[in-house]
Chains A and B, each alone.
Chain A
Amino acid sequence: MTSVKIIPKKKDTTIKNTTEKKNTKTETKNTEQSNTIVLPGDILVESIDFLTGHGTYREGKKIYSKILGILRKKEHVISVIPLSGTYQPKPRDFIIGEVAYVGYSNWRVDFGHPNSATLPMSGVPEFIENGADLSKYYKRGDLLFAPIESVTKNMIIQISMKDKRARKLFGGKIINISPSKVPRVIGKEGTMIAQIKNKTGCIINVSQNGRIWIKGDNEPLATRTIKMVEKLSHKKGLTETISQYLDKEVKIMDTPKSKDMETQ
């Protein structure tokens, strides 16, 4: 239980190299071991050389898991990626929220959390004169994709539109997934979301609070794929299966058209 659960980095890389060549059956077998699920109270490591990351706590020499999740070790930091749970806002997280209230000098944005976020006048790239009508910029019901700037201890959340990626969302549709599955939808260095974007040709914005904005002709396929990722999130080798699934679906969509062409 103690040190056995930590999988050395070497093993991970060897698995990756070999699975590409081998068939899928051996792949799942190999990778099951590396996706160690830990539970609250499990001892992760018994040494003072490690630091406690997300989802862990220290008691004496031992580091325990706080939550149900997948064990991750990065250099000297031990952390647990949650498999379930509600969204807890953190600075630099992107959220999708709806403008719920336009005030004298700020907007209030509802993003599916008990505490709504505040967008101050200073958080907008344009210069706004004192006393101007703020609904000219963002009005009630507008959807915003913006990063969280700060979160205080008593949950006063501030967002900003000054970031390059922050924007108002027009059209498209929003789907909700479990916030704990968001890292899987994005994938390692964005590989998963990049391939869904490429193969479906949709514009997709993923926010950390579990809301995903999709716009494009292949909207239904993108939705289905993301729901599939959510459902199979704890499985390894998912990027590959999703890639195969997308190829198959895109082909099916293309074939009737080509047949029509032949008959004509």
Chain B
Amino acid sequence: MASNVPEKYKTLIKNNKRIDGRKLDELRPVKIEVGVVPSADGSAYIEIGNTKVLVAVHGPKEMFPRHMINEDRAVLNVRYAMLPFSTSERVRPGPSRRSNEISKVTRHALESVIFLEEFPAMGIDLTLDIIQADAGTRATAITAASVALAHAGIPMKGLVAATAIGKINDKLAVDLNGPEDNFGQTDMPIAMISTNKNITLLQMDGDFTKEEFKTSLEMAKKAIDPLFEAQKAALQKYYE
């Protein structure tokens, strides 16, 4: 892997600053907008750095396909898709191994928060469209998804936000960007509930030592707060 790294990405940290000038525990700039899709029951648009995601919620409505129905609770249908123009190389549209996995993982991250038992035999459709990908798409999508769900009036225990902790040049850093993700060592997306900071998603690509893992969890707990603030501010602003 090291042999393919371009010269300018060999040192990702200089004087405790990253290539985009951030500190190690600093998030990328966050921008959230609510109610961008008029035809949907709830929607949100998010920009975290160069990662841009559009999320729409339809429902609770009649469950489709019919055979997936659950008589005592609603079924959350998540469709994650990277749009063809979202990366430098065209993404083939349609479901892929990767998008199926992320759809499933996102569903698990949000299902535990939603009071699905209030809507028996119904379905909630959640579409996550990645407009521009620059690392951390699943974390960004989850952050926007919970805003869109709140906008759709779906009862939830709390909001869910997600960020990633990574290892670059043997140092732990928050919210990796594209080059850091591609040429760094480890990437660990984490999603948490706003009320009690319970973890609803934890994946790891690469490796951490036991100590690194523990510190990275602590870092995530601290780093995620501005995301909750941004989510709340966006929803409050929409109803002003």
B partners with A: yes
- Give Cα distance in the complex from A36 to B48, angstroms: 28
With CB as the reference atom, state the residue of chain B lying closest to A179. B153
Q: Mark B29-65, 1 if CB is under 8 A from A, else 0.
A: 0000000000001100000000000000001111100
Q: How far is the CB of B125 from chain A (nearest CB, A)?
A: 12
**B121 to A, closest residue via Cβ:** A155
**A-side contacts of B155, CB under 8 Å:** 40, 55, 66-67
Whether A39 and B152, one on each chain, are in contact in the complex, defined by CB atoms closer than 8 angstroms, is: no
Per-residue CB proximity of A58-74 to B under 8 Å, as 1/0?
01000010111100000
Expressed in whole angstroms, the Cα–Cα distance for A235 and B143 within the complex equals 28
Interface-centre pick from A40, A82, A234 (highest chain B CB count, 10 A): A40
User: Looking across the interface, which residue of chain A has its beta carbon closest to that of B64?
Assistant: A114
Residue B221 at the chain A interface, CB threshold 8 Å: no
Q: Which of A21-70 contact B (CB under 8 A)?
A: 37, 39-41, 43, 55, 57, 59, 64, 66-69
- Closest Cβ of chain B to A150, distance in Å, is 15
Q: Is B72 an interface residue (CB 8 A)?
A: yes
Does B120 belong to the interface (CB within 8 Å)? yes
Of B90-98, B126-134, B156-164, the one contacting chain A is B156-164
For chain A, give the interface size range.
20 to 34
Name the B residues within 8 Å of A114 (CB-CB): 60-63, 121-122
A180 to B195 CA separation, bound complex (whole angstroms): 25
Asked if A41 and B153 make an inter-chain contact with CB atoms under 8 angstroms apart, the answer reads no
Q: Which of A83-91, A121-129, A238-246 lines the interface with chain B?
A: A83-91
Check A154 for interface membership: any CB of B closer than 8 A. Answer: yes
Q: What is the bound-complex CA distance between A39 and B229, given in angstroms?
A: 12
The one of A43, A64, A68, A234 in contact with B150, judged by C-beta atoms closer than 8 angstroms, is: A68
| Nearest residue, chain B, Cβ from A54 | B155
Interface core residue of B121, B235, B239 (most chain A CB under 10 Å): B239
Partner of B154 from the list A43, A59, A85 (CB cut-off 8 Å) is A85
Judged by a CB distance under 8 angstroms, whether A115 is at the interface is yes
Chain A residues near B151 (CB, 8 Å)?
68, 84
- Chain A residue nearest in CB terms to B61: A114
B contact residues, total (Cβ < 8 Å): 32
- Closest residue to A84 on the B side, CB-wise? B153
Which of A68, A114, A180 has most chain B Cβ within 10 Å? A68
B236 at the interface (CB under 8 A from A): yes
Query: Are the CB atoms of A64 and B41 closer together than 8 Å?
Result: no
* B152–A41 touching, CB < 8 Å: no
Mark each residue of chain A from 140 to 160: 1 if its CB lies under 8 Å from any CB of chain B, else 0.
000000000000011100000
Closest beta carbon of chain A to B150's beta carbon, Å: 5
For residue A68, which residues in chain B have a CB less than 8 angstroms away from its CB?
A: 150-151, 153, 235
For the complex of A and B, 7 pairs with smallest distance between CB atoms: A85-B153, A41-B158, A114-B62, A84-B153, A66-B155, A40-B156, A41-B194
A-B contact pairs, 12 of them (CB 8 A): A39-B159, A39-B235, A40-B155, A40-B159, A66-B157, A68-B153, A83-B239, A84-B151, A85-B153, A85-B154, A86-B60, A88-B118
Using A40-B156, A41-B156 as known contacts, list a sample of 19 further A-B pairs with CB atoms less than 8 Å apart, ordered by residue number in A. Answer: A37-B236, A37-B239, A39-B150, A39-B236, A40-B159, A41-B158, A57-B157, A59-B195, A66-B155, A66-B156, A84-B42, A86-B41, A86-B61, A114-B61, A114-B62, A114-B121, A154-B72, A155-B121, A180-B153
